[in-house]
Structure 1
């Protein structure tokens, strides 16, 4: 296929895959301000939004050989920053919840206690490990533990049975306890 037959999105995608820095720089310069503004409408934190967008572009560059974008590159980036912004909010809520209610840590992870004055290290470890859970398991756990939804509400929202919801919660708890055993 000749370069003239490719639409602009295909040119961008092939340019990124081939490591064309000029195309990447042009894409960054064109979309960075828009993506930052969009993320800021979600996070209400301009500096955080700037970091999220920069991380998105960094990931795009680092994974340029393996990423798969169907359709518009711009739509892909806006969708990606939307999800990153929501994840940031979820993580902030989680931090806030555990900061304000440290007893929650012990409810979910009995026997796990942070070393003296290192609550933030435990929170970071919990956040990291939650982010590594399988997608559905993480979503169920976050809805239950962070947002306080009931198992029945989660089941209806996700279109799964209550038993499946319970299994995801048990699995998340088992995985997280195993991964956080260093804090025992």
Structure 2
């Protein structure tokens, strides 16, 4: 009896901390822990089309990880590496080109690791890449609003983040095992 109660308590805590709602055949509503993005911080970034190919390739990798598709994530990572390598810092309106170049090199190195077939390794690299991408896009700018999303349960409860074009949480760090675990932490809004 005590074990059953402890187990039920742990399941409840897990569901509560990730914002999960029990699924029924009538309701498949997706939620995230912090409510809507209006409670998140908003950061204005410059409007630019120079990062479009990088963002598109990044989001393609993210979507593959959300779908638990390691093969597609590996394939799309090649597009991301190419987009990062072909990014022209000189053509950007960045106010800190030296830092932008450092972030570009770091992001390229991490993106190259996404080519591995092991989805756990891909997810770890993707989380590290997401941190660098957020910093890079804050300097370089973006062509669309992006949501910095955060899951506190990733990597033994140390947390992990990613970027998305949608407020709705679709967690690439856990995929189908915890698809809606997370919340919007910050909004990168085009200035």
User: With structure 1 as the length reference, what TM-score do the two structures score?
Assistant: 0.27
User: Greater strand share, 1 or 2?
Assistant: 2
User: Greater helix share, 1 or 2?
Assistant: 1
Q: Which has the larger radius of gyration?
A: 1
User: With structure 2 as the length reference, what TM-score do the two structures score?
Assistant: 0.27
